[in-house]
Amino acid sequence: MDCNMIGQSPLLIEALERADKAANSAARVLVTGETGTGKEMLARRIHAGSRRAMKPFVALNCASLSPELMESELFGHVKGAFTTALRDHGGLVAQADGGTLFLDEIAEMAPALQAKLLRFIETGEYRRVGEASLRRADVRVIAATHRDLRGGDFRDDLYFRLAVVTIAMPPLRDRAADIPLLAAHFLTAIAAQENRAPLRLDASALAALQRHSWPGNIRELHNTLYSAAVMHDGDTLTAAMLALPALEDSMKLMREAAKPQPLWRVEQAAIDAAIDYCGGNIPHAARLLEVSPSTLYRRPKNRARV
C-alpha cells in the first residue's frame, strides 16, 4: 500500500471510499488538496481499481511546461511543426489510449490549451501540433489541483466536465492520529534503504510530530524523518533530532501576539489603517471610524496627511 493511503482518520477513509466507488465507473474525477497530500497516488488507486487497470497510467504536471511545450507534450507534434521538432512525437494522449491520463496542477493550464482539452474530452478527437488530420483516443481523464478552479481564469465548462466526481485529499494536520502509522512506515522504508537497524521514535519525537502543522504534508513528514535518520546515529530518534519548531517557541509567539496593547496605540493603529484605506481622505476615514473629522485632525501624527 502506498504511504499516502495509510491511515484510519475519517477524512482519509471518506476520500478512499469515494475513490473506490469512482474507480468502478467511467466518470472523470477531480482530486483537490494541498501539495504533498497524495493526489497522484489517489489517481493511481482509481486507475488500478478500474476496468482500465491493464492499460497505461500516464501523468503530466501542467505547471512544469510552457503552454507551447505542453500542447506538444499532451497531443504530440509532427516533424517540422516548430524549430526543434526534429521527428514525430506521439504525445501523452496517444500513450494513454485505453487507459488513464492524469493532469496534475490543472489550474496552471493556459486558456487556449484548456479549450483544446475540452474538445478532446467532449469528442475524443485531437490534432498533433502541425498536423491537419484528426486523431482519436479513448482516455479517462483524472485531474488534480491545489487551487480553487472557479472564479478565475479556468474555464467553467471545462471545470464541470472534469469535476463529475470530486474527491478532497485531507491535509496531514487534519490527520494527526495517522502520523504514528505513517512515521512507522517511513522509518521502516528508510532503514531498509540506508541498510540500517530498525528505527523508532521516542515519546518526545512522536509528540513533536503530532504538534507540527505540516504545511508540506506527507512529503514534509517523510523528508523530516529521512533527514533526522541520516544526520544522527543510533536507532532512536528524539524530538531534538527532528529540527521542528519547539512548542515552547510557538506558544511564546502566540502569547506575544495576544498581549494587550496600550489603548492609545490601538486607537492610533485603527486611525492609521482607516486613513490608509481611504487614501488620506480624513473626512471619509472619520465616517468609517464613526468619529468627527476634528478628532483625527487634532492628532499631530496625522495632520500632515490632510
Q: What is the pLDDT of residues 29-82, one digit of tens each?
A: 999 999 999 999 999 999 999 999 999 999 999 988 888 788 888 998 777 666
Q: Sort strands 135-136 and 140-145 into parallel, antiparallel or unpaired.
A: unpaired
- How much of the chain, in percent, has pLDDT values that exceed 90? 62
The neighbour count for residue 113, using CB atoms within 10 Å, is 16
Find the range with the poorest average confidence among 153-157, 212-216, 262-266: 262-266
Architecture of domain 3-170: 3-Layer(aba) Sandwich (3.40)
Q: Rounded to whole angstroms, how far apart are CA atoms 59 and 44?
A: 10
Q: In what helix (H) or strand (E) does residue 142 lie, and over which residues does it extend? A: strand 140-145
Name the fold adopted by 263-303. Arc Repressor Mutant, subunit A (1.10.10)
Q: Please, what sign has the CA dihedral across residues 51, 52, 53, 55?
A: positive
Residue scoring higher pLDDT (7 or 5): 7
Is residue 248 scored above 70 in pLDDT?
no
| pLDDT confidence tier of residue 261, bands split at 50, 70 and 90 | low
The SS3 assignment for 166 reads strand
Backbone dihedral angles phi then psi of residue 212, each to the nearest 5 degrees: -70, 150
> What is the C-alpha to C-alpha distance for residues 96 and 73, in angstroms, rounded to an integer?
12
Residue ranges of domains in the chain: 3-170, 173-250, 263-303
Q: Is the pLDDT of residue 148 over 80?
A: yes
CB 40 within 8 A of CB 32: no
Residue 303: which pLDDT band, with cuts at 50, 70 and 90? very low
Distance CA 23, CA 247 (A): 42
Can you give the pLDDT at residue 289? 77
- Helix axis angle for 203-211 and 179-193, nearest 10°, is 120
- Which has the minimum average pLDDT: 48-62, 111-125, 253-267? 253-267
Residue 59, classed as helix, strand or coil, is strand
- State the architecture of 173-250 in CATH terms: Orthogonal Bundle (1.10)
Query: Could you tell me if 296 and 302 are in contact, meaning their C-beta atoms sit under 8 angstroms apart?
Result: yes
- Where helices occur in the chain by DSSP H, the ranges are 10-23, 39-48, 67-75, 92-95, 111-123, 156-162, 179-193, 203-211, 217-231, 247-258, 263-277, 282-289, 293-297, 300-303
pLDDT exceeds 50 at position 306: no
pLDDT tens digits for range 203-232? 999 999 999 999 999 999 999 999 999 999
**Cell, residue 294:** 476634528
